[in-house]
Amino acid sequence: MEERYVVFRGHDRVAVGTRLEAALAARALADAAGVLVFGPDGRVVDLDLSGSPEDIAVRLAPVEAPRGRGRPKLGVVAREVTLLPRHWDWLASQPGGASVALRKLVEAASRAADGPDRIRKAREVAYRFASAMAGDLPGFEEAMRALFAGDDKSFGSRIDAWPADVAAQMRTYAAEAFASDQPADLASTSASSAE
């Protein structure tokens, strides 16, 4: 799925699209004051809007990175890992060796942390956007407290008074912040066992 960028002029959302689409929309508004482009991470993105639309398209075209050493199909990257001798001994005794065991451990840990990481990231993205667009709006501090407390009702009531496009974008960025931190299969299991 392609990352989405958002263009605001003042408190009005004027475009949503790819990086190129956002750049072209911002270029069309270059003479207007208060035009900001936000990346998928909620940060303001500084785009070079000089030249023609074709020039912008060439500048923003993806560049293929040169392949390094390693196994290209897997994208293996070698880095240093420091462990105690007993850890190395345990890794050496695992089927497939240290690399296979470490990859399995990392995969298991990343799956276990998926819910909390997703929620934390959504809160950070929403906070960055809110700081840029709503820092001076009424209820900003209360809305941010509700966001980080996971209180979706209070959060929604605080941003309802904000300009419609700002509030709508906040809801988009914060949607995952109020989701369950349990994987979907665990959440449905605990819900059915509670009945």
Residue 157 within a domain:
yes
pTM of the model: 0.68
Q: What is the mean pLDDT of residues 117-130?
A: 92
State how many domains the chain has: 3
Query: 80 and 51 in one domain?
Result: no
Q: Give the model's pLDDT for residue 179.
A: 75
Q: What is the pLDDT of residues 162-192, one digit of tens each?
A: 999 999 999 999 988 887 554 444 444 444 4
Statement to judge: residues 74 and 56 lie in one domain: no
> What is the average per-residue pLDDT within 106-135?
86
My answer on whether 129 and 81 are in the same domain is: no
Give the range of the structural domain holding residue 172, as residue numbers without chain letter. 114-178
In this structure, the answer to whether residues 55 and 81 fall within a common structural domain is: no
- In angstroms, the Cα distances linking 101 to 23, 73, 77, 78, 106 are 44, 19, 16, 15, 9
HSE of 52 in the Cβ direction (CA atoms, 13 Å)? 3
Q: What is the pLDDT of residues 124-161, one digit of tens each?
A: 999 999 999 999 999 999 999 999 999 999 999 999 99
Question: Are 163 and 134 part of one and the same domain?
Answer: yes
Mean pLDDT of 51-57: 88
